Amino acid sequence: MNTLHLASELRATVDRWRAAGDTIALVPTMGNLHDGHLALVAKARELATRVVVTIFVNPLQFGPNEDFGRYPRTLADDLAKLAEAGVDLVWTPPVDEVYVNGFPPATTITVSPIADQLEGAFRPGFFTGVATVVAILFASVRPDVAVFGEKDWQQLQIVRRMVEDLRVGIQIVGYPTERAADGLALSSRNQYLSEADRRLAPKVHAALQAVAAGLTAGRRDFAVLCAEQSALLAAAGFKPQYLEVRAPSLAQPAAGDRDFVVLVAAVLGSTRLIDNLAVRPV
Ligand code: PAF
């Protein structure tokens, strides 16, 4: 496995592969890899002959009071996992290899209004940071296909929309969320949870399942259904930020829709948990 830091080295390697007839799949990450990331890598290996993983903790997607400084950085461990998973190349650029004319960059990408709601309402600027860095990673690697986790459902929709609007010409593949046995969605931030909070954390998934059960039973009082579960989370010690039913595109749902996604964010102790569940009532 190649581990490279410079964009020029990355380009030279990818160009060589392309000349030899290879196809390229990209898995963008911020490192601190868990089984959820490795499932994305396994999917990427099915989709192309070469797999590139990027590890870059992107300062542009962290707010001033967020966890950029303490975001877990575990490069040696990550590289061992990626080598074992059969990755061909890992790009771990320094900030000035990504933001080539200085940070913060003069050029950013905002995908409105989809980025202003849900996560975007609680993390202003977050999706501009994500869309901008993803566009730069795409331009640097120039993959045929890129794989993103569905755990970040809104991020996935934003990346899809950006790729469509800007005619980026890269196939975007979403991959289902990996969960612990008790239902908690795998996330690098789960390690911030205290032992007691870790025991409570699966209630977030349980709340999504309860809303899904309501939808499947025919309820369409979306706001009431979500408010009931939000109140239960609050009573259990969470600070719910949003719990909403949407169409998969994130448009507001209509009673006659056949597909829904339920999305939640809740703070537990000092940890912010997000999750979602797709629901297709029959
Ligand atoms: O999902 C993530 O880990 C990040 O938002 C991404 C897509 C790697 C961009 O920094």
Q: What is the CATH number of the domain that holds 264?
A: 3.30.1300.10
Tokens of 195: 């032992």
Do 96 and 192 sit in the same domain of this protein?
no
- Are 13 and 143 contained in the same domain? yes
What's the whole-model pTM score?
A: 0.96
Pocket residues: Cβ below 6 A from ligand 1: 28-30, 58, 61, 130, 133-134, 152, 155
The answer to whether position 98 is within a domain reads yes
Q: What is the pLDDT of residue 282?
A: 81
DSSP string, 188-230: GGGGGS-HHHHHHTTHHHHHHHHHHHHHHTT---HHHHHHHHH
Q: Mapped to the 3 state alphabet, what secondary structure does 13-37 carry?
A: HHHHHHHCCCCEEEEEECCCCCHHH
The whole-number pLDDT of residue 135 equals 98
Residue 182 belongs to some domain of the structure: no
Q: Are residues 149 and 200 part of one domain?
A: no
203 with 136, same domain: the answer is no
Is 154 inside a domain boundary?
yes
Average pLDDT over residues 20-46: 98
Test site for ligand 1: of 127, 138, 152, 272, most ligand atoms within 8 A of the Cβ:
152
CA angle at 176 for the pair 30 and 179, rounded to the nearest 5°: 80
Domain-terminating residue out of 175, 197, 220: 175
Mean pLDDT for 5-14 is: 98
Tell me, yes or no, whether 149 and 57 share the same domain. yes
Give residue 111's domain range. 2-175
Residues 153 and 215 in one domain: no
Identify the three-state secondary structure at position 207: helix
Report the pLDDT averaged over residues 17-30. 98
What's the gap in Å between 133 CA and the centre of ligand 1? 8
Are residues 18 and 44 located together in one domain of the fold? yes
* pLDDT at position 143: 98
Instruction: Judge contact between 237 and 266, C-beta under 8 A.
Output: no
- What are the start-end ranges of the E strands in 122-170? 145-149
pLDDT number for residue 74: 97
Ramachandran area for residue 269 (φ above 0: left; ψ -120 to 50: alpha; else beta): left
CATH number for the domain harbouring residue 61: 3.40.50.620
Contact criterion met (CB below 8 Å) for 52 and 26: yes
pLDDT average, residue stretch 85-96: 98
Query: Which atom of ligand 1 is found nearest the CA of 29?
Result: 8
CA–CA distance, 246 with 263 (Å, rounded to integer): 8
Place of tokens 């593949």: 173
Looking at the structure, do residues 52 and 119 belong to the same domain, yes or no? yes
183-201 pLDDT, tens digit per residue, is 999 999 999 999 999 999 9
Number of domains in the chain: 2
* Domain contains 181: no
Cα 41 to averaged position of ligand 1 atoms, centre (Å): 14
Measured between its terminal Cα atoms, the distance across the chain in Å is: 46
My answer on whether 128 and 229 are in the same domain is no
Q: What pLDDT score does 176 carry?
A: 98
Q: CA–CA separation, 157 vs 172, rounded Å?
A: 10
Q: Do 8 and 34 share a domain, yes or no?
A: yes
Residues 221 and 89 in one domain: no
The predicted model gives 9-35 an average pLDDT of 98
Nearest CA among 203, 240, 251, 245 for reference residue 223: 245
* E strands in 114-164: 145-149
Confidence of residue 138 (pLDDT cuts 50, 70, 90): very high
Q: Please tell me whether residues 200 and 157 are part of one structural domain.
A: no
Task: Give me the phi and psi of 184, to 5 degrees please.
Answer: -65, 130
205 is catalytic: no
